[in-house]
Amino acid sequence: MTFTKILPVVLIAALTMACGYESSEPKPKTDGDTPSAENVAVTEKIAVKKYSAALQKAKDTGRNIVVFYGSDSCPWSKQMDEQALANGDVQAALRDVVYLRVIQGVNAEEFEAKWGKQTTPTIVTLDADGKPLGRKLSGVVKTADFLSYVGWAKTGEGPQPGIATGGG
């Protein structure tokens, strides 16, 4: 086999490993979670650093939770950061939900203990009781589509917007 035939396979494998590919839907594990309000960073929007804090804030406020699960080493997570998540309209829309930013190797342990390791980037919406709403989004989401998704996530009612996702 020649180098030019192997190169695409090696590149795909490397990107898949760097972005934490896992094909399963998030499924809660059975070990118990005790919500805690510690380490909560509240800014203009309700943004938290821990899964338990997100659950507590959601229960306290009656808001749904939007979880961004990413990795500092994933180029697609970085693309979501630089495009959709940095957008002013998206930031304004995130004020209507509890926003949890989970980064592998930084603050993912508690979230992964409950939901397992996810593909990066992944967006998950949970209700105030921590139950999933709709389907998760895996891969890069365009800014306009992400804005529509966050609007839906505010209530979780009606059909989830049809959003195409993918890498790069």
H helix runs in the chain, sequence order:
3-18, 51-61, 75-82, 88-93, 109-115, 143-155
* Measured CA distances, 81 to 61, 70, 106, 159 (Å): 26, 9, 16, 26
67: in domain: yes
Q: Residues 6 or more apart from 11 whose CB is under 8 A from it?
A: none
pLDDT at 146 over 80: yes
pLDDT at 34 over 90: no
- Domain extent at residue 65: 39-155
pLDDT for 156 equals: 87
Q: How many domains does the chain have?
A: 1
pLDDT for 41 equals: 35
Could you report the per-residue pLDDT of 72-123, keeping only the tens digit for each?
999 999 999 899 989 999 999 999 999 999 999 999 999 999 999 999 999 9
What integer best gives the mean pLDDT of the chain? Answer: 78
127: in domain: yes
Q: Residues 6 or more apart from 54 whose CB is under 8 A from it?
A: 48, 65, 67, 98, 100, 126
pTM: 0.72
Q: Residues 6 or more apart from 32 whose CB is under 8 A from it?
A: none
Could you report the per-residue pLDDT of 13-28, keeping only the tens digit for each?
444 445 554 444 444 4
Domain with residue 95: its CATH number is 3.40.30.10
Whole-number percent of the chain with pLDDT over 90: 56
17: in domain: no
86: in domain: yes
Picking from 46-50, 63-67, 70-74, 101-105, which range would have the lowest pLDDT averaged per residue? 46-50
